[in-house]
Structure 1
Amino acid sequence: MSQTRTAARAHIPGDDRFGRLARATAGLEPPFAVVDLDAYRANARSLVRRSLGKPIRVASKSLRCRHLLADTLRGDGFRGVLAFTLPEALWLAEDHTDVVVGYPTTDRAALRRLATDQRLRERVTLMVDSPEQLEFLHGAARPDPARPLRICLELDASYRLLGGRVHLGARRSPVHSPGQALALARRIADRPGLRLVGMMAYESQIAGVGDAPAAALRGLAVRMMQRASAAELRERRATAVAAVRSVADLEFVNGGGTGSVEGTAAEPAVTEVAAGSGLYGPLLFDTYRAFRPRPAAFFALPVVRRPAPGIVTVLGGGWPASGAAGQDRLPRPAHPGRLAYRATEGAGEVQTPLLGPAADGLALGERVWFRHAKAGELAERVNSFHLVEGDRIVEEVPTYRGEGHAFL
């Protein structure tokens, strides 16, 4: 079937998104990925409104595309990058002046390069959460006391109950109490060659957990937990920040994520919020009540087989998201509607059977559009994004992978 017919079928009343994407990409052979700039920019404006006037530090792992990262940072309300590895941060710091590495590093070669390059040293901030990491950084980088490395202290934002026996949230920093934060801040201040400039706390149990899942009772439980956790963290974070500020003149206090932007930004102790996934609007953000980003990133796969009535097979498709394995980590067919995986096959490495009423209307060569479960991980599967405005491609830009980088 011709690509013209594909586009016509996708142009359905009430939802012209896939009609626009089909017309824009009629000359492309799938598989490929697109970013709908109209939706992307609407999501950026939404994040800025939710941030209550505080700057948004863009999480690079949620984009993994230098062009889109730079374009976003040129917009009002965005300032600085939250990188995921030190080699990536050094690469990005060639163009950006404020890059915080969101996770600790043990990359000796990258640390030595950072310590010996004045421009990079002034632009990149390292993350620490223990005296052991301080020892490692000092031994690996051997920083000059007159030219110290910039350091950010990470406070654990998890919600703990029953004396810590119940832990809700990601297992990140061991620094949980204000006293622990103060003790580590003093260790950093006493270490020649290191300068404490920031604090960070990521409340994954709030920012990364949707409060409106399909199961109503579970949703109620999640909302109760998140309200209690937010109240506890607000007080603990303020106390910890005040304690650390008694030791160091902090330039920034970072918190939150796409799912908690407005709540975190409302805390007086927080000076900036982190976000990135909300720009692409992946599947995992379909279960939030307070906001709903517009889906902006899609990938298209071609129909290559018709094994039986009611079934079509597309090329590839096995692009699951990281995290605990489950159905919520799989890409989802977005168009045509009423397509689903076979329970015994799921999303396959080189082919994916899809079942449903729409299958019999698809011919060989036609496309099925998918959404990825998480944001930036889609960029690890393609070399470029086709940027679409309206019903035309305005630019093709490389992903990290397309520029020859696989940082993690």
Structure 2
Amino acid sequence: MEAYTSYKNALKNIPKPCLFLDMDMFHTNIQNIISASNNKNIRIASKSIRSVPILKEILNVSSTFQGIMCYAADEAIYLNDNGLDDLLIAYPVWNPEHLKAIASRVMNKQTITVMVDSIEHINHLEMIAAENNQKFLVCLDIDLSSEYPGLHFGVHRSPVKTVSQVVALINRIDDSPYMKLDGIMGYEAQIAGVTDNNPKQRLKNKVVRFLKNHSSKVLIKKRQEIIDVIHQKQIDLRFINGGGTGSLHQTAKENVTEITVGSGFFNSRLFDFYKDYSNLPALAYAIEITRIPKKHMYTCTGGGYIASGAMGEDRMPHIYLPEGACLTANEGAGEVQTPIYYDGDIPLKHGDPIFLRHSKAGELCEHFHHIHLIKDDKIIDAYKTYRGDYQCFL
């Protein structure tokens, strides 16, 4: 009841739906991430933040935080325009205009690195750079997923799966006058992005943990073999990137120079269901009761912010406060109204808030112009999201 009342009072004059960040929890999460980093650099995944002032706030906390992992070319350009540098675009860029703009900035001493995983990517970059005698900084994305009979355990990203494929692409990049190999990355999505401690899926948890354990041994060996080959070829890389929030505990022990972390700062709902990870629920949103159709049923305006990915219950928003409230099975969370069932001790009335958490982190910011910062039971500031800056990249 105390947490519900605190947030309710802090947000009483803010129109709802609204997005808010508990600054005490947020900074506790930041310190937890630093503690788990094993003195490796942390690259911030912008996809999970989507707010320039929050990205800058994290960067200003500690020198542990170095660089941003972006999810789109025009996003990287926007962040660069807002004073951020050391920008790694996590996904290949094909749009020629975006690539020309990036190459121009690289020639002006900005550090914006593009992703490649094929000869086609390299040839495309080379053709664009040759037009104006420019140069690209490139990162080679290596597949770290695992294959089992009838199961692809991981994500379908890079086609680069073997050490020999890595060597062939590195040689091709090294031979080009139009690009420099800036780094390599491998995202162990099957470790970082798959929950393994959901109380509603106990049997599945055991299977996932078994697969994670086996897959981890294989990918650690593969990554080290690739790093050894690069060292043997005496290639000087600026960074070796790995990890994600859900695999920070593991990747921090590997021979990488930096680990990418995003969702752990806000700690979205999915990350409640990891055996080897725990942080505080810093980011949430409030919707407002506008109807009471019957006893214990409270209908709110808006609230239906569904997470991306394969559809399931875990993609739905979760009622955070008051404790014990829940969505209805028939309606769930709707675009224009969301009915909530609650028969607890807090007396609810028209105009009262219901607080929810999103399954993912940055996706929630696409629905709001501002993130209201709460500290000591009051709002201390409001930071713009990308949408608040009238930006939409995907």
C-alpha spacing 1:54/1:360, structure 2 compared with 1 (3 Å): closer
- Which residue in the other structure is 1:174 paired with? 159
- Checking the alignment, whether the CA contact within 8 Å between 1:310 and 1:357 is kept in structure 2 is yes
1:126 aligns with 2:126: no
- Which residue in the other structure is 2:207 paired with? 221
**Amino acid aligned to 2:177:** P
Of 335, 354, 364 in structure 2, the residue corresponding to residue 378 of structure 1 is: 364
Deviation per CA, 1:345-372, whole angstroms, max 9, x where unpaired?
1111100111232499321111100101
- Which residue in the other structure is 1:256 paired with? 243
Of 197, 205, 227 in structure 1, the residue corresponding to residue 190 of structure 2 is: 205
**Distance of 2:192 and 2:131 partners within structure 1:** 35
Report deviation, 1:202: 0.6
Of 348, 351, 365 in structure 1, the residue corresponding to residue 351 of structure 2 is: 365
**Distance of 1:229 and 1:283 partners within structure 2:** 25
Of 114, 117, 124 in structure 2, the residue corresponding to residue 136 of structure 1 is: 124
Report deviation, 1:144: 5.2
Matched residue SS, 1:79: strand
Aligned Cα root-mean-square deviation (Å): 1.7
Matched residue SS, 1:370: strand
1:184 aligns with 2:169: yes
**Distance of 1:86 and 1:32 partners within structure 2:** 29
**Structure 1: tracts of 5 or more residues without a match:** 1-11
- Which structure 2 residues correspond to residues 86-165 of structure 1 after superposition, within 5 A? 86-94=73-81, 95-118=83-106, 122-142=110-130, 147-162=134-149
Matched residue SS, 2:47: helix
**Amino acid aligned to 2:99:** L
Matched residue SS, 1:117: helix
- Which residue in the other structure is 1:326 paired with? 312
TM-score (norm 1): 0.92
**Distance of 1:153 and 1:186 partners within structure 2:** 12
- Which residue in the other structure is 2:227 paired with? 241
Count of aligned pairs between the two proteins: 390
**Amino acid aligned to 1:34:** F
TM-score (norm 2): 0.95
My pick for the range that moved more, 79-88 or 128-137, is 128-137
C-alpha spacing 1:101/1:168, structure 2 compared with 1 (3 Å): same
- Which residue in the other structure is 1:79 paired with? 66
Matched residue SS, 2:113: strand
Of 273, 292, 312 in structure 2, the residue corresponding to residue 306 of structure 1 is: 292
**Distance of 1:405 and 1:25 partners within structure 2:** 26
**Amino acid aligned to 2:136:** L
Matched residue SS, 2:110: helix
Deviation per CA, 1:94-151, whole angstroms, max 9, x where unpaired?
3122110011111221111122234666310000101111122223444655x42100
Of 57, 70, 79 in structure 1, the residue corresponding to residue 56 of structure 2 is: 70
- Checking the alignment, whether the CA contact within 8 Å between 1:178 and 1:237 is kept in structure 2 is no
- Checking the alignment, whether the CA contact within 8 Å between 1:189 and 1:248 is kept in structure 2 is no
1:32 aligns with 2:18: yes
Deviation per CA, 1:290-343, whole angstroms, max 9, x where unpaired?
221100001100001112222111001110011011111111111112222222
- Which residue in the other structure is 1:7 paired with? none
**Distance of 1:25 and 1:356 partners within structure 2:** 21
**Distance of 2:5 and 2:188 partners within structure 1:** 38
- Checking the alignment, whether the CA contact within 8 Å between 1:384 and 1:397 is kept in structure 2 is yes
**Structure 2: tracts of 5 or more residues without a match:** none
- Which residue in the other structure is 1:20 paired with? 6
**Amino acid aligned to 1:225:** L
Q: Among all aligned residue pairs of Structure 1 and Structure 2, give the percentage whose two residues are the same amino acid.
A: 36
Report deviation, 1:266: 0.4
- Checking the alignment, whether the CA contact within 8 Å between 1:83 and 1:101 is kept in structure 2 is yes
Matched residue SS, 1:93: helix
**Distance of 1:188 and 1:19 partners within structure 2:** 58
- Checking the alignment, whether the CA contact within 8 Å between 2:316 and 2:359 is kept in structure 1 is yes
- Checking the alignment, whether the CA contact within 8 Å between 2:371 and 2:382 is kept in structure 1 is yes
My pick for the range that moved more, 177-186 or 209-218, is 209-218
- Which residue in the other structure is 1:354 paired with? 340
Report deviation, 1:227: 1.1
**Amino acid aligned to 2:9:** R
Matched residue SS, 1:171: coil
My pick for the range that moved more, 64-73 or 207-216, is 207-216
